Amino acid sequence: MRTRTKVCGRIVTINKQTGGYEMPEAKLKVILLRHTPNPEETISMAAKLCYSPSDIESLEKKISSGDQKSFIGKLMKMGHMSPIEHASFTFAIEGISRACSHQLVRHRVASYSQQSQRYVSEESGFDYIIPPSVKNDKKLKKIFVDFMKKSQETYNMLVRGLNESELKGEAANQDARFVLPNACETKIIVTMNARELIHFFNQRCCNRAQWEIRAMAEKMLRLVKRVSPTIFASSGPLCLIGPCPESEYTCGSIKEVRKKYRIIQ
């Protein structure tokens, strides 16, 4: 028997037999919120200024799509990447684990705003991510889900105990959150410039990257390719445009990887 109710401002499902919250598995979602208007034209303006005696007023003259493609291609070939930094992209991401977000924020040339476990209570039941290797094994999945429920129960007991000690709101949340697992779902807004995104895709689209951040990176790549196909034409793992840099750690699937990224649009 199940019922739905509102707890801490959130609609949750309660199992009447156990009295516990039913915590759903989170689903990955990525949205491109904003980006530099006409990003490829903006980059072309910067490139034009570097390599011609143009004054700044002439930069506003329309640059044809063909010239934009030519400018950007030359920049990439020469490795002159600073003009690429003038275009930026802002993503909203949800349905990733705290383990994944810790990997994401290691990319330091970026801006991040993450949902706080201090100001946002998890009393109503936290969502979580199950690794495929666990999800596909019935026995392991049960062990995993049972532990998520136990973590939730422990968190709620700590919050109640801290409340009784006159610690309320974020003062209680910030200490109770120490028992929350890496699997706990988080939401984050990320802004990166195009140069950093290219580097990010090189690292995180690789088969050697963990499955979760790789899935997120692929969704981000699809989104930016729609608005800036020239900038990100060769984006993805480094083996798309050269030999695998992983040496003896290579996945050994370079042909399959190249085929996959040719169809990512």
Please name every residue paired with 20 in a beta bridge, in sequence order, or none if there are none.
Answer: none
**Residue 198: enclosing H or E segment and its boundaries?**
helix 194-204
Residue 129 has pLDDT above 60, yes or no: yes
Mean pLDDT of 25-46: 95
Residues that are catalytic = 204
Q: Confidence band (pLDDT; 50, 70, 90) for 63?
A: confident
pTM of the complete model: 0.88
φ and ψ at 57, to 5 degrees?
-65, -35
- Residue 72: the pLDDT is 93
- Residue 263: the pLDDT is 72
Q: Confidence band (pLDDT; 50, 70, 90) for 52?
A: confident
CB 149 within 8 A of CB 25: no
Residue 197 has pLDDT above 60, yes or no: yes
User: Taking the domains of the chain in order of start, what are their residue ranges?
Assistant: 32-88+192-262
Q: What's the whole-number average pLDDT of the chain?
A: 90
- Residue 22: the pLDDT is 61
Architecture of domain 32-88+192-262: 2-Layer Sandwich (3.30)
DSSP-assigned letter for residue 58? G
